[in-house]
Chain A
Amino acid sequence: MARFGMVIDTAKCVGCADCVVACETENNVPEGYARDWIKQVATGKFPNTQLEIRSERCNHCSDAPCVTACPTGASHFHDVGGIVLVDHNECIGCKACIASCPYDARFVHPEGYVDKCTFCVHRVEEGLDPACVSVCPTHCMHFGDLDDPNSEVSKLLNSRKHHSLLPEAGTKPNIFYLI
């Protein structure tokens, strides 16, 4: 079974938000909403400040609380790669999934259903990278099968220090950030 995930190199990311803009156009995300976003975290004292820039989105958690919280099954794991998706026609808009996501990755689409990053499943199924990955001018984002030890993402994780977001929330996120 494939387990899709992303490995993002924070050393290369410049926080340009191209990934955000590309997601907006690729997926027709309505104005004023975003499926992905940039977070810049600065620590330390000038001039010895450290900065980590992260492109964030739904982590497509393996233990996804949004899926367990959903009363209709609209939030579900996709057959391929464990991508977490929302079926718009099953979603009643109760927002339990939003309240259960520690990453605030979901939002209510103006049409009423809950929306979020799909890992661009429509592209991935055609063998393309997600839009955000393929646009990134610094090539700092990588997408692939984390369960395949020969995939680029697995190799990167094996060779570089990395972390994921809020592992303490127990959701087993599938996006990793190289330090």
Chain B
Amino acid sequence: MIEITTTRHNHLIDPSLHIWGWEIPVYLFLGGMVAGMMLISGYFLFSGRYKETNCSCYYLPIMSFLLLSLGMFALFLDLEHKPYVWRLYTTFQITSPMSWGSWILVLVYPILFASMLMRPHRLLLEKIPHVKKWHEYLHSKPMLIKYLGVVSMFFGAAIGMYTGVLLSSLGARPLWSSSILWLLFLVSGLSSAAAFVHLIAKNVYERELLAKSDNAFLILELFIITVFLIGLSSNSDVHAKALDLLMTGKYAAVFWVFVIGMGIVIPLFIQLLAVNHKIHHTPIAPIMVIIGGLILRFVIVAAGQYSHWYVLTN
């Protein structure tokens, strides 16, 4: 038996680290979903689908803009020293994913704005001559739209990966120190975004396409989760113990029921039936996928914070 007594008592850290509350998972989730949406919308721009007037690439940028801003706001809420937030942008710290992230996010906004020029709001078109000029210029240069699609996909992927790298770079939390957390978050972001588009797409073809791709993403996600879990179990002892938090421990119930069951397997099953026309499309499945994606971020952030070297080694 190992007995430990300690005089430690730092708020939010003892007895076990809990520095990040709801804000960070929400931010990571929204960031991930925006990443997925940018990939999807970028792809539609790139592949020329924007020629369909009801293509979702017309409204995804504005939604991305709103959701991303919401996510940034959540992140801002989490900052403890808010008046100093501008300090993020007086420096670039090459080793810090968070610094990368904040600069990437700054670059993402112009891309979203440019994408919004594909079909600006009527009022803007009428009131601001520049908007009209740029809008027309964009539509006169199909190559430019293609590039915009590529850049959008590129930055979408960057954000998606960043949300995972942010956590996995923090080696002090064994649960996060996985080399594929970025892929998991990227794919999960894609699946949430696909579900979202599936849910709201006006274009029947897109709806079908995205339901199908969502199924692919979900299958991929299951596969990555398996690799993620196996990776932890075959790493050191602490990592294996961190894994236990998800397998059998404190966070197992939420993880298996909400993330795996209701967030992936059941909606996958429903959507498989739907795309094979066994049942009608239902909004239930995509909603479950989206909620599952959100809960995944909550579980990973919470369990990761809990997965402390000391807690796990003693």
Asked if the two chains touch in their complex, CB atoms less than 8 Å apart, one says: yes
Count of residues in A whose CB is under 8 Å from the partner chain: 47
Task: Give the size range of B's interface with the partner.
Answer: 35 or more
Residue contact A92 to B12, C-beta cutoff 8 Å: no
Interface of B is mostly: loop
If the complex has contacts A38-B7, A108-B11, are A71 and B98 also in contact, measured as CB distance less than 8 A?
A: yes
Residues of B contacting A168 in the complex (Cβ-Cβ under 8 angstroms): 236
B154 CB to closest chain A CB, in angstroms?
A: 22
Residue contact B8 to A70, C-beta cutoff 8 Å: no
Decide if B99 is an interface residue (CB 8 Å cutoff): yes
Q: Which of B17, B79, B171, B236 contacts A93 (CB 8 A)?
A: B79
Decide if B19 is an interface residue (CB 8 Å cutoff): yes
If the complex has contacts A38-B7, A107-B10, A166-B309, are A100 and B170 also in contact, measured as CB distance less than 8 A?
A: yes
How far is it, in angstroms, between the C-alpha of A75 and the C-alpha of B166 when the chains are bound?
Answer: 17
B78 CB to closest chain A CB, in angstroms?
A: 7
> What residue in chain B is nearest A39 (Cβ atoms)?
B6
B15 CB to closest chain A CB, in angstroms?
A: 10
Decide if B13 is an interface residue (CB 8 Å cutoff): yes
Residues of A contacting B234 in the complex (Cβ-Cβ under 8 angstroms): none
Residues of A contacting B166 in the complex (Cβ-Cβ under 8 angstroms): 96
- Of the listed residues B1, B5, B14, B19, the one surrounded by the most CB atoms of chain A closer than 10 A to its CB is B19
Residue contact B6 to A92, C-beta cutoff 8 Å: no
A127 CB to closest chain B CB, in angstroms?
A: 29
Q: Which of A93, A99, A166 contacts B80 (CB 8 A)?
A: A93
- Of the listed residues A38, A72, A111, the one surrounded by the most CB atoms of chain B closer than 10 A to its CB is A72
Decide if B241 is an interface residue (CB 8 Å cutoff): no
Residue contact A99 to B20, C-beta cutoff 8 Å: yes
Decide if A40 is an interface residue (CB 8 Å cutoff): yes
Residue contact B5 to A40, C-beta cutoff 8 Å: yes
Residues of B contacting A89 in the complex (Cβ-Cβ under 8 angstroms): 84, 87
List residues of B whose CB falls within 8 A of some A CB.
1-14, 17, 19-20, 78-82, 84-85, 87-88, 90-91, 93, 95-99, 101-102, 166, 169-173, 236, 305, 308-310, 313-314
Q: What are 8 inter-chain pairs, A to B, with CB distance below 8 A? A: A32-B9, A43-B2, A69-B95, A98-B17, A100-B169, A101-B172, A108-B19, A112-B84
Known contacts A92-B88, A100-B171, A107-B13; can you find 19 more A-B pairs with CB under 8 A? A42-B4, A65-B172, A69-B95, A69-B97, A69-B169, A72-B84, A72-B93, A91-B87, A92-B82, A92-B84, A93-B80, A93-B81, A96-B96, A98-B13, A98-B19, A102-B171, A104-B310, A111-B81, A169-B171
